[in-house]
Amino acid sequence: MKGLDAIVAATDLSAGSKHALDRAASLAQEHGAALTLVHVLASSAIDALRRWAGDAAAVQAVEDEARSRLDEVADEARQRHALPIDARLVQGHAVQQVAQLAHSRGADLVVTGTRGAGFVRAGLLGSTAERIARRASQPVLMVRQMVHERYRRVLVPVDFSDWSLAAVHLADRVAPRATLVLMHAVSVPMLGRMRLAGVGDATVAHYHDAARAEARQQLYALAERSGLPAQRLQLSTPQGDDPWVLIAEEEQARDCDLVVIGRQGRHALDELLLGSTTRRVLAECSADVLVSVHHDDGAPPQQAARATATRAGRPG
């Protein structure tokens, strides 16, 4: 499996975004990838400063201060990780600029934090981090945790769609030494109606068991198709009504430090809403989250790992 060649890390220069840069640098070291660090000055704020201050020197001072802070962050990371880092200060719409830079650099991965300025966990949805995950045509790694080591255990929820195998390959590509937990959230259709109709408990239990057995068989088949060694894979088929709850519980029970989840889109550059399951996972899971894209238009992915998705047991 081909590794990562180029990574773009976005920073808001807050203390919270340091974890994202450390993870991006760790991955760059592991894969021998080129790392670009980008900070975006909002063009709307710069334009407002020009109008209100009426002084070009004030705008230049703001730009110089941002450049100085970015260089300081980059220099510290270069020394800490013994790694070359290309630091870029750009102006414009943050989401657009990050997406454009990732495209121009041929990035395999975009890395962003979730707890920087305005990125508190409860307010994550709708944040710049989430909007980057919606917009980018590359997988987006949203980093929550302080970096202690390489990823050890990765949770990959799958729905057995055509894109599930690509989700497994993406997890392997980003974390080639990790154990992958392949999970399908088993949802039993018509269960409520069966109970209302007075179907006996024994029949309902048999229905549950059959659904889980079928999911288990499909997971075994997916694992075999992945071509990964069996010792790197674990299979899980939890059962319940809400896939995101099962994903969050599985993340905790298996001590996973990364969750691979997907979004759907008619086009990779459309800024579309994330599915409901994906949004809940982003809000509730404590592990880092790797968001990938599912192309509904049927266009073939540029690389299997770039255009992957998983809808976690049910469509998001």
- Tell me the percentage of the chain whose pLDDT exceeds 70: 78
Could you tell me the strand order of the sheet in which 179-183 lies? 85-92, 34-42, 6-10, 109-113, 140-143, 288-295, 258-265, 153-157, 179-183, 233-236
Checking if the pLDDT of 77 tops 50, the result is yes
Which has the higher per-residue pLDDT, 170 or 120? Answer: 170
Checking if the pLDDT of 52 tops 80, the result is no
Tokens 């400063």 belong to residue: 49
Structure confidence at residue 305 (pLDDT): 34
> Taking all residues of the chain, what is their mean pLDDT, rounded to a whole number?
81
> How many Å apart are CA 45 and CA 122, to the nearest integer?
25
pLDDT tens sequence across 57-68 = 777 788 889 899
Which has the higher per-residue pLDDT, 293 or 255? Answer: 255
**Is the CB of residue 31 less than 8 Å from the CB of residue 3?**
yes
pLDDT-derived band at 275, boundaries 50, 70, 90? low
pLDDT tens sequence across 220-237 = 999 999 999 999 999 999
One-letter amino acid at 117 equals: A
**Is the CB of residue 161 less than 8 Å from the CB of residue 311?**
yes
Nearest to 242 by CA among 188, 199, 192, 196: 188
Per-range mean pLDDT, top range of 162-166, 274-278, 292-296? 162-166
> How many Å apart are CA 167 and CA 173, to the nearest integer?
10
> Any idea which of 22-26, 78-82, 294-298 has the lowest mean pLDDT?
294-298
Structure confidence at residue 228 (pLDDT): 96
Checking if the pLDDT of 270 tops 50, the result is no
pLDDT tens sequence across 289-305 = 998 865 544 443 334 33
CA 288, chain centre distance (Å): 7
Which has the higher per-residue pLDDT, 198 or 272? Answer: 198
**Is the CB of residue 41 less than 8 Å from the CB of residue 93?**
no
Checking if the pLDDT of 217 tops 90, the result is yes
pLDDT-derived band at 125, boundaries 50, 70, 90? very low
Burial class (CB in 10 A: 0-12, 13-18, 19+), 161: middle
Q: Which tokens is 73 given?
A: 């962050």
Could you give all domains of the chain from N- to C-terminal order, each with its CATH number?
1-146 (3.40.50.620), 149-316 (3.40.50.620)
Structure confidence at residue 159 (pLDDT): 87
